Amino acid sequence: MAKFKAMGIRPQSRLGQNFLIDLNLLRLLHESGHIEPHDVILEVGTGTGSLTAPMSEKAAVVITVDVDPVMQDLAKQELFGRKNIRFIKTDILKNKNRLREEVLEIVREELNQPGPNGEKRQFKLVANLPYCIATPLISNLLLTERPPALMCVTIQKELADRMVAKPRSKEWGALSLWTQAQCHTEIIRIMPPTVFWPRPKVDSAIVRLTLDEKRRNKIPDLKFFNEFARAIFFHRRKFLRAELCSAFKNTIPKLRIDEIMDEMEFDAATRAETLPLKTMLRLCELCRKELLKLPENERKIL
């Protein structure tokens, strides 16, 4: 903080800059990422490089991305001479539904290099994430052809609660469905505002998502399932039939939706928030198969 003041640097709230200043929690964050010599680490939010440095001592390469050129130039000075760090000045998000392709290309380039003993490299995300990008970043990484084998990040506690939520809880929703369909999700540590500078107004958490290839491979169409998850919880207090009718307006007739409801043994009072993951996957697949009967350009979820 003293160095920031001496240099006239002030954290920018619009960029979600809240620096983790507790060294023990920084250590916990990078140790919870289980970083190995063949890992390609993506860090989003370089900051001062306080997390980048210890990760670079273990990983094959750290690709660190920051939208703030001032912060990344400062980190470059602090980390001068470390040859396995690649600095990228950009916004990782092209928009809320797409990641920046040039960053993904650099990740792919590094993943195609052999590990220290000729083994295949592994992709991980380990970062103190800006709050404003956490959901779109994690969600879109899980849509990529080669998602991270592990994601260990700091995020808002509210968001972490949604990632580990169970059906029939108020947190169970689209993000719960999307992450748990592909990953084992766990909260490593809850963190109070006092461990950050400047202090956020909410609690945070270190959360770890470990990819489960078997789960992921059970989803026939990832893009469709992602859209389905968001649509089915768009009006979470609506009854399920109303949600389905709204999501598939002009594509699946209401009569067929009623047949799907009967096939799934749902009653009129069923809500999406009560349905477990396995049931949601089956419902999604029934709806997807209905859309496959239509011309490709008409297979839409509203």
pLDDT tens digits, one per residue of 174-199: 999 999 999 999 999 999 999 998 89
Distance CA 117, CA 124 (A): 19
Contact predicate 153/138, CB 8 Å:
yes
The confidence band for 220, taking pLDDT boundaries of 50, 70 and 90, is: very high
Mean pLDDT is lowest, of 138-147, 233-242, 285-294, for 233-242
Provide mean pLDDT across the span 133-142.
97
* CATH of 2-217 given 3.10.440.10, 3.40.50.12780, 1.10.3720.10, 3.40.50.150: 3.40.50.150
Is the pLDDT at 95 greater than 60? The verdict is yes
Q: Please give the helix or strand (H or E) that residue 197 lies within, else none.
A: strand 196-197
Question: For strand 122-128 and strand 150-156, is the pairing parallel, antiparallel, or unpaired?
Answer: parallel
Is the pLDDT at 14 greater than 60? The verdict is no
CATH of span 222-298: 1.10.8.100
- 272 vs 299: which has the higher pLDDT: 272
DSSP class of residue 272 equals G
Sequence ranges of the chain with CATH classification 3.40.50.150: 2-217
Sequence ranges of the chain with CATH classification 1.10.8.100: 222-298
Mapped onto helix, strand or coil, the DSSP state of residue 44 is strand
Is the pLDDT at 1 greater than 60? The verdict is no
Quick one: what percent of the chain has pLDDT higher than 90? Answer: 81
What is the model's pLDDT at position 12? 59
